[in-house]
């Protein structure tokens, strides 16, 4: 008998297999752009499994164009749309806008980041204006701006170091 929990577990397994297939299918194409190379998330305890699935959902959107207000692979993503989509596909509803995403969720210290945590930045104005999804190893995935597609970036980049505001967890 299928219940909601079993359906969600089955959905996560299918998405994980799909992500693995996509990674292996493209493994013969060389990637000469080091800034887009992604380390696999390190799942050190069972509580990080959902965070890893959130990362896999986001990684499967690599290369999708940026679109202001975008919420899906077919229309493109903005930063908060990618964060919301990656959570929703794993059964977690989070606010749509970056500011609300930052206000809600559990505060996480930078030294305690896990895969799937949301990272927030002040890239314009006086308040939070950008969000990315932490992958691990100081890397995150995001939809940066209208000139770029969904890609990975490092927290070591001085631009993001200077603008980092904090992290939140929704799982």
| Mean pLDDT across 111-139 | 97
Structural domains in the chain, sorted by start: 4-169 (3.90.1720.10)
| pLDDT tier, 30 (very low <50, low <70, confident <90, very high otherwise) | very low
Whether 79 sits among the annotated catalytic residues: the reply is yes
| Catalytic residue (one of 17, 87, 107, 130) | 130
Instruction: Give per-residue pLDDT as tens, 102-114.
Output: 999 999 999 999 9
Q: How far apart are CA 95 and CA 61, in angstroms?
A: 19
Q: What is the pTM of this model?
A: 0.73
From the list 26, 79, 87, 107, the catalytic residue is: 79
Flag whether pLDDT at 31 surpasses 70: no
**pLDDT of 142-160, one tens digit each?**
999 999 999 999 999 999 9
C-alpha torsion angle, residues 89, 92, 95, 98 (rounded to 10): -70
Whether 142 is a known active-site residue: answer yes
Is 87 a residue whose pLDDT tops 90? yes
Buried (b) or exposed (e) across 116-131, using 16+ Cβ within 10 A?
bbbbbbebeeeebbbb
Is 26 part of the annotated catalytic residue set?
Answer: no
Q: Please state at what angle helix 49-59 crosses helix 4-25, rounded to 10 degrees.
A: 50
């Amino acid at each position: 008998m299928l219940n909601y929990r079993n359906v969600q577990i089955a959905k996560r397994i299918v998405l994980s297999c799909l992500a693995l297939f996509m990674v292996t299918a493209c493994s013969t194409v060389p990637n000469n752009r080091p800034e887009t190379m992604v380390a696999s998330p390190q799942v050190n305890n069972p509580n990080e499994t959902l965070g890893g699935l959130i990362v896999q959902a986001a990684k499967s959107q690599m290369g999708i164009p940026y679109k202001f207000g975008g919420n899906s692979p077919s229309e493109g993503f903005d930063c908060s749309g990618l964060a919301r989509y990656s959570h929703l596909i794993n059964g977690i509803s989070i606010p749509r806008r970056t500011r609300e995403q930052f206000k809600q969720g559990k505060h996480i210290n930078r030294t305690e980041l896990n895969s799937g945590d949301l990272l927030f930045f002040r890239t314009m104005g006086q308040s939070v204006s950008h969000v990315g999804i932490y992958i691990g190893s100081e890397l995150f995935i995001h939809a940066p701006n209208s000139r770029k597609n969904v890609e990975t970036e490092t927290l070591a980049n001085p631009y993001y170091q200077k603008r980092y505001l904090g992290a939140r967890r929704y799982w």
